[in-house]
C-alpha cells in the first residue's frame, strides 16, 4: 500500500511554501532542494495550481505561493486530489469481473476503512505541518533572503 510520490512531493511543496510565506519560491529552488528535476516537479506544481492550492506567477521575479491559508488546507484534501485513484481492489473498478461481487461485503468494509484513513488525515492541516517554521527553514537551508543558487 503506497501513496504516489506525486502526492508526497505535492505535500512537500506545500510545506516548503508554507515555511516561506514572505516570498515567491521558484520551482527551480525546490527542485534543487528536493533533488529532482525541474520538469518533474513542474507536473506536481501544475496540478496544485489547477486545484487552486497555489498560485504561479510567471516571468522574471515570479514563483509560487500558497493561495489558501495553511489552516484551511487539509492533508486529506490534498491526498484526495493528488492521488490518481482509490480503487483499493479490483471490485472497486467498473469493469470488475469478480463473481463474488454481488454478494460480497468486502467492498464496503474496504470503503469504510478508506474513509477512516482519509478522515484521519482530515484532522491535520498544513498549518499543523509547519508549526515549527524556523526549524523547517533551517532544514531547508533557506533564510529570509533568497539563496544565491
Partner DNA sequence: AATAAAGATTCACATAAAATGCATCTTAAA
Partner DNA sequence: TTTAAGATGCATTTTATGTGAATCTTTATT
For DNA, the binding residues (CB under 7 A) are 2, 4-6, 8, 24-28, 36-37, 39-40, 42-43, 45-46, 49, 56-64, 84-85
Binds a copy of itself by CB under 8 A, chosen from 57, 69, 71, 139 = 139
Nine-digit cell string for 57: 506567477
User: 126 near 9, Cβ under 8 Å?
Assistant: no
Residue 93 three-state SS:
coil
Q: Which stretch binds a copy of itself (CB under 8 A): 27-35, 41-49, 50-58, 61-69?
A: 27-35
Q: What are phi and psi of 20, to 5 degrees?
A: -130, 65
Give whole-number Cα distances, 131 to 54, 125, 138, in Å.
Answer: 19, 10, 14
Which residues, in sequence order, are bridge partners of residue 56?
64
The yes or no reply on residue 7 touching a copy of itself (CB under 8 A) is yes
Question: Where does this chain bind a copy of itself (CB under 8 A)?
Answer: 1-3, 5, 7-8, 11-12, 15, 33-35, 75, 83, 85-90, 97-100, 102-106, 109-110, 112-121, 124, 128-129, 131-132, 135-136, 139-141
Amino acid at each position: 500500500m503506497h501513496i504516489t510520490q506525486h502526492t508526497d512531493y505535492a505535500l512537500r511543496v506545500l510545506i516548503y511554501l508554507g515555511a516561506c510565506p514572505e516570498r515567491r519560491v521558484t520551482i527551480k529552488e525546490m527542485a534543487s532542494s528536493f533533488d529532482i528535476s525541474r520538469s518533474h516537479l513542474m507536473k506536481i506544481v501544475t496540478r496544485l495550481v489547477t486545484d487552486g492550492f497555489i498560485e504561479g506567477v510567471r516571468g522574471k521575479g515570479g514563483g509560487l505561493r500558497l493561495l489558501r491559508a495553511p489552516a484551511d488546507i487539509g492533508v486529506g484534501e490534498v491526498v484526495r486530489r493528488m492521488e490518481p485513484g482509490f480503487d483499493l481492489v479490483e471490485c472497486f473498478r467498473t469493469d470488475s469481473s469478480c463473481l463474488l461481487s454481488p454478494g460480497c461485503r468486502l467492498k464496503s468494509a474496504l470503503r469504510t476503512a478508506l474513509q477512516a484513513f482519509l478522515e484521519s488525515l482530515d484532522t491535520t492541516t498544513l498549518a499543523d505541518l509547519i508549526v515549527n517554521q524556523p526549524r523547517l527553514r533551517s532544514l531547508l537551508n533557506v533564510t529570509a533572503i533568497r539563496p544565491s543558487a
